């Protein structure tokens, strides 16, 4: 059931990405629907599933962006692992916890991309600090609104926690 939600969410994120690009070509500089999807899936605490979700969402984002192939896959995988690991230990639930994890994931995602672009391409990203702040705010607010809508329509906690394995 979770993978079905992930695939539907990935299709929605891709549709949103395509629509935003057709109206405003640089829209993903201010908003990242893939980060919302990856954090939502990673909040369940399943580390392996979160890593796979981060890789899949990142490769889809890379395929439809003009960037180095694998750049977003690597950064979203790091974010997915961090959120899943934290949630496997703390079991965070609720809109504010989701917003905090999403805001942190967007910041980490952008920092990883910034570092990799500086190392691999030897280029500086113009207005990085302003874009980071705007992207974090817009993505976090939009993600929290989506989370609230899911609470309203599902009438239950939309994030299913996985059982923590003993012996790890």
Alpha helices in the chain (DSSP H): 2-23, 33-42, 47-63, 71-90, 95-120, 128-154
For the chain, which residues make up each domain, given as ranges? 32-154
Which structure tokens are listed for 101? 């994890």
- Please list, in sequence order, all residues whose beta carbon lies within 8 angstroms of the beta carbon of residue 128, skipping any fewer than 6 positions away: 110, 114
Q: 10-58: per-residue pLDDT in tens? A: 999 999 988 888 888 777 778 899 999 999 999 887 899 999 999 999 9
Q: At residue 147, does pLDDT exceed 80? A: yes
What does the alpha-carbon distance between residue 117 and residue 83 come to, in Å, rounded to a whole number? 23
Region 138-156: what's the mean pLDDT?
Answer: 87
Confidence of residue 66 (pLDDT cuts 50, 70, 90): confident
Q: What are phi and psi of 108, to 5 degrees?
A: -65, -40
Inter-CA distances, 114 with 15, 20, 34, 62, 109, Å: 25, 22, 17, 15, 9
pLDDT at 25: 78
């Amino acid at each position: 059931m979770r993978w079905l939600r992930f695939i539907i969410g990935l299709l929605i994120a891709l549709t949103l990405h395509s629509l935003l690009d057709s109206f405003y070509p640089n829209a993903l500089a201010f908003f990242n629907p893939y980060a919302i999807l990856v954090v939502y899936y990673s909040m369940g605490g399943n580390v392996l599933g979160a890593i796979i979700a981060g890789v899949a969402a990142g490769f889809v984002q890379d395929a439809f962006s003009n960037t180095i192939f694998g750049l977003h896959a690597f950064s979203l995988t790091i974010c997915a692992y961090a959120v899943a690991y934290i949630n496997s230990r703390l079991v965070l639930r609720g809109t504010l916890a989701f917003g905090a994890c999403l805001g942190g994931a967007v910041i980490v995602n952008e920092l990883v991309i910034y570092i990799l672009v500086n190392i691999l391409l030897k280029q500086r990203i113009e207005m990085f600090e302003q874009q980071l702040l705007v992207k974090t705010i817009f993505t976090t607010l939009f993600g929290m609104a989506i989370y609230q809508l899911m609470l309203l329509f599902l009438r239950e906690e939309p994030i299913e926690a996985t059982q923590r394995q003993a012996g790890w």
